[in-house]
């Protein structure tokens, strides 16, 4: 692959809607320079991490791999990169996680094979390739260049970029690949099981913005009060991308089933509103997933949020966790709700001084919702 072909491929990648996180260890280093040196890199590259030492890979994976250079390690790296890309990308943008691990020529002769594994993960696909290079045929720099070319082709393939260059491999090199496809049910199962951190359904017509305005809830059912509250919250924020959020995993109940999740998603498709399905029931975890977001909640949720009862009865633990949320740039927009039969607004709640600037009141004259989804279900016999 000549530099002109590399430039053409990279320009096409940068023109695609895909955004990527790359985790590379033991080779393919030149692909980073190619992606970053050609204009348009900010459209594609969200983050590049090079966990080169064994300890760095262990900390990235959160475990000691059975083999540092293996198909499983490449797939694990790609999945981690995919989840990281979800957190860093614009809402609704297709993302890809790229994992690479190699054992190439070094300053000392290797007893084992010169090989590398590449993996790419998207919402509905996991692709992995193993390449074994002929020993003694190339220098380390040449092996790195071959691995870089092949990884660039893999990224181009994800981005649906046509690639016609001549193979970089010799007749004595060995290459094989495998691919798995995931339907929507399998993707949601992976989310429930914790493999994927969230999945976004961008049904809204609004242009995605970096800051999200998120209304968490079970939405069983979604009703007009939810929609009106989000409208008011969006006006108060002034900017941001409104998203509803459902956690598939509940702290006190069994997780939602795939069919339950799909039924709730349909509600948002009908009204043209973006919904995120996550696997985090706790607000401090939501804050980690969606930093710098404005969370829209009712006064009843605000009361629970600052109640030490939900933090093992420890006031200081509650304070520490919520200050951590505050440090991620998150705020809470609080709408009035019935709390134990009494309508309350933010001003009726004794918020600790250290957290007061984190909570923003939605005035009752702008929005008031006295009925809940539970009451709607009871009235409709659901």
- pLDDT, residue 376, reads 47
Which stretches within 198-246 are classed as H helix?
A: 224-237
CA angle 22, 28, 34 (to 5 degrees): 75
Which class for 358: exposed (0-12), middle (13-18), buried (19 or more C-beta within 10 A)?
A: middle
Give me the tens of pLDDT residue by residue for the chain, a chain 382 residues long: 688 999 999 999 999 999 999 999 999 999 999 999 999 999 999 999 999 999 999 999 999 999 999 999 999 999 999 999 999 998 879 999 999 999 999 988 888 999 999 999 999 999 999 999 999 999 999 999 999 999 999 999 999 998 766 688 999 999 999 999 999 999 999 999 999 999 999 999 888 888 899 999 999 999 999 999 999 999 999 889 999 999 999 888 899 999 999 999 999 999 999 999 999 999 999 999 999 999 999 999 999 999 999 999 999 999 999 999 999 999 999 999 888 888 899 999 999 999 999 999 999 888 876 555 555 455 655 5
Contact 281, 247 (CB under 8 A): yes
Task: Read off the tokens for 140.
Answer: 């380390």
3-state secondary structure of 64: coil
- pLDDT, residue 174, reads 96
Domains, the chain, ordered by start = 3-181 (3.90.950.20), 186-380 (3.40.50.620)
Please choose, from the candidates 97, 311, 50, the residue with its C-alpha nearest in 3D space to the C-alpha of residue 197.
97
Q: Please give the Cα distance from 229 to 342 (Å, whole number).
A: 19
Task: Read off the tokens for 229.
Answer: 């509250």
**In the chain, at which residue ranges do the beta strands (DSSP E only) sit?**
19-25, 45-49, 95-103, 114-122, 125-133, 174-181, 198-201, 212-216, 241-247, 275-278, 294-298, 331-335, 337-339, 342-344, 359-362
- pLDDT, residue 350, reads 96
Contact 86, 96 (CB under 8 A): no
3-state secondary structure of 15: helix
Task: Read off the tokens for 298.
Answer: 């009712």
Contact 80, 47 (CB under 8 A): no
pTM: 0.92
Q: Is the peptide bond before 221 cis (omega within 30 degrees of 0)?
A: yes
**Would strands 95-103 and 114-122 be described as parallel, antiparallel, or unpaired?**
antiparallel
Dihedral sign for Cα 342, 347, 350, 352, please: positive
- pLDDT, residue 371, reads 55
Task: Read off the tokens for 209.
Answer: 């913005």
């Amino acid at each position: 692959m000549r530099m002109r072909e590399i430039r053409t491929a990279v320009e096409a990648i940068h023109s695609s809607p895909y955004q990527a996180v790359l985790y590379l260890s033991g080779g393919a280093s030149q692909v980073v320079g190619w992606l970053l040196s050609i204009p348009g890199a900010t459209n594609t590259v969200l983050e590049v991490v090079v966990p080169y030492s064994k300890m760095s890979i262990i900390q990235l994976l959160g475990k000691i791999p059975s083999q540092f250079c293996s198909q499983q390690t490449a797939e694990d790296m790609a999945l981690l990169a995919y989840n990281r890309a979800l957190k860093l990308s614009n809402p609704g943008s297709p993302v890809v996680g790229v994992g690479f691990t190699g054992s190439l020529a070094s300053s000392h002769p290797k007893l084992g094979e010169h090989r590398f594994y590449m993996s790419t993960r998207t919402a509905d696909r996991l692709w992995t390739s193993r390449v074994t290079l002929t020993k003694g045929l190339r220098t380390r720099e040449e092996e790195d260049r071959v691995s870089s070319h092949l990884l660039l082709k893999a990224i181009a393939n994800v981005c649906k970029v046509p690639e016609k260059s001549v193979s970089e491999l010799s007749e004595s090199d060995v290459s094989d690949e495998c691919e798995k496809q995931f339907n929507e049910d399998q993707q949601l199962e992976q989310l429930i099981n914790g493999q994927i951190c969230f999945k976004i359904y961008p049904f809204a017509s609004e242009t995605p913005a970096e800051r999200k305005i998120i209304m968490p809830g079970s939405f069983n059912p979604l009703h007009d009060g939810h929609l009106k509250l989000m409208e008011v919250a969006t006006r108060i924020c002034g900017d941001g991308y409104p998203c509803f959020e459902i956690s598939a995993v509940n702290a006190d109940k069994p997780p939602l089933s795939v069919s339950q999740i799909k039924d709730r998603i349909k509600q948002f498709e009908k009204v043209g509103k973006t919904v995120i399905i996550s696997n985090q029931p706790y607000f401090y975890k939501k804050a980690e997933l969606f930093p710098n977001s404005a969370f829209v909640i009712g006064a009843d949720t605000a009361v629970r949020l600052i109640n030490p009862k939900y933090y093992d009865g420890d006031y200081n633990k509650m304070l520490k966790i919520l200050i951590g949320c505050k440090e991620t740039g998150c705020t809470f927009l609080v709408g009035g709700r019935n709390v134990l039969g009494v309508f309350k607004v933010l001003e009726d709640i004794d918020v600790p001084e250290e957290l007061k600037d984190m909570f923003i009141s939605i005035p009752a004259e702008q929005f008031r919702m006295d009925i809940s989804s539970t009451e709607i279900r009871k009235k409709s016999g659901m």
